Amino acid sequence: MHDLGIVGAGPAGMAAALAVADMGFSVIVVDEQARAGGQIFRRPPEAWGERHGVYRPYAWARDLIERFEDHPKITAAFRATAFGVLRGNDKDDRASLELAVSSPDGGQRVSARRLLLATGAYDMPVAFPGWTLPGVMTAGAIQSLIKSQKLLSGKRVVLAGSHPIQLILAGQLLDAGADIVEIALARDLPGLKEMARGLPAVPGHVSIFTEAVRALSKIMRHGVPIRWRTVVSEATPEDTGLRVRLETVDPSWLGTGESHLHEADILVLGYGFTPSTELARQAGCEMKWDSAGGGWTVLHDARFQSTAPDIFVAGEPTGVAGAERAWAEGHIAGLFIAASLGAKLDDRALSHSTRRLIRAGRFSDVMQTMFEPKRKALAELSRQDETVICRCEEVRNRQIEDALQNNPFIQSVNAVKLECRSGMGVCQGRYCEGTVAARIGNAREASIEASGYYNAHLPVKPVALQVYRDISKD
């Protein structure tokens, strides 16, 4: 049995692993990617012979990754998916906590005295006619291909979204040789007052702003048009790629009816990020609604302990707040986990990381407020009868609409799921939960929070049946 099991080798998981391993405890880290780094520090495959990727503007990433990879008390399992948390009693009748893991070698149970869920975030899905077509991709997918495979997925690119990641990504796409047709941003150009409110974000984050300015000047040098108050409203297949309709919106992001068309090879969506919380839900952790932080987040205390016994959480599942904050949360969680395992709490390290957490929080608070997506307006893009809402079960808008009209007492995403199967497929609702919840909110004139979240069941991610046989043999 390990002292600590961690899911996720991003900045949060790595920082926690080091804090606990440095105290002499054994740590196992499970990650479905091929190498440590998480979303932000994604690297080319090991076989290419490059130990590091490009980490700008995070100078501390190199040291973090090297210390993590070289630490004798840390065992890392890559290409390994944690698909459930199991509780029970071991053969000596002591309470046990286990991760159900699927890897290329089959299934296994990983036992640990404590668990830390540092599972990151994924791109926020937005449903509109054509969003499931080949060529319609998310910012995360495009960035992963560039960072890990040095691959450009198409030449002519339209970017549509509202998150500043779109500007950074546009810079990376231009470097990779793409022709960017247009960047369509849903929000308005920030005014002077809003910029002034954002000033507290600057101290300690000059390098991040420098990176953004660098990307913006590249965009301007290439003459790429940026259109504000514009959302994507439709994509249709063409012989040579996609036809993308972009629609002008009012300040609340509702369509004005005015639109224009572009032809492109790929359409990149970047409306924000959703915390990856399915494992926490399945493990019984209580959730908390935080729209600016990405939606449903994991409720935790100041030690980053969740409401489920012995399960801690750090990084994006507590709210999408960037790499620096993820590192600080992971480190603080690690210090408290080590203390819960019997080590003396390292007060100096704790106050150092707390200062870093507060500084990172000043940045993330501004970013979250400035770029919070208007979820209810975006959900209205899925209004046409045949628009797919749940792509796994192919549930279309017409069925959601009928369920809501015919059953006036339906108030929750789980009730819609029972009525028309949305969220019942292999992704367990990761793609449709936000749209269904916002559509219920619009139909019932209620908050999105009131629609709740899908229950998560084991396996939280698809695994082969063989894996079940393996874990039941143990």
Ligand X SMILES: Cc1cc2nc3c(=O)[nH]c(=O)nc-3n(C[C@H](O)[C@H](O)[C@H](O)COP(=O)(O)OP(=O)(O)OC[C@H]3O[C@@H](n4cnc5c(N)ncnc54)[C@H](O)[C@@H]3O)c2cc1C
Residues that bind ligand X (CB under 6 A): 7-13, 30-33, 38-40, 81-82, 118-123, 139-140, 143, 165, 168, 273, 276, 279, 315-316, 322-323, 326, 461
Q: At what angle do helices 165-175 and 206-221 cross, to 10 degrees?
A: 60
Nearer to ligand X, 172 or 307 (CB): 172
- Give CA separation, 270 vs 109, 142, 164, 307, 434, in Å: 36, 10, 8, 32, 15
Residue 102 CB, nearest approach to ligand X (Å): 9
Query: In this structure, what token pair is assigned to residue 190?
Result: 């920030």
Residue 443 CB, nearest approach to ligand X (Å): 30
Residue 168 CB, nearest approach to ligand X (Å): 5
Residue 456 CB, nearest approach to ligand X (Å): 11
Residue 403 CB, nearest approach to ligand X (Å): 30
Residue 14 CB, nearest approach to ligand X (Å): 7
Max intra-chain CA distance, the chain = 69
Nearer to ligand X, 139 or 180 (CB): 139
Nearer to ligand X, 388 or 463 (CB): 463
Residue 254 CB, nearest approach to ligand X (Å): 27
Nearer to ligand X, 10 or 129 (CB): 10
Residue 119 CB, nearest approach to ligand X (Å): 4
Residue 409 CB, nearest approach to ligand X (Å): 34
Nearer to ligand X, 30 or 332 (CB): 30
Nearer to ligand X, 313 or 388 (CB): 313
Of the candidates 307, 289, 293, the residue with the CA atom closest to the CA atom of residue 451? 289
Distance separating alpha carbons of residues 57 and 209, to the nearest angstrom: 9
Residue 146 CB, nearest approach to ligand X (Å): 11
Nearer to ligand X, 314 or 400 (CB): 314
Nearer to ligand X, 129 or 294 (CB): 294
Distance separating alpha carbons of residues 264 and 396, to the nearest angstrom: 26
Residue 80 CB, nearest approach to ligand X (Å): 6
Of the candidates 25, 46, 51, the residue with the CA atom closest to the CA atom of residue 34? 46
Nearer to ligand X, 33 or 399 (CB): 33
Nearer to ligand X, 279 or 338 (CB): 279
Nearer to ligand X, 75 or 259 (CB): 75
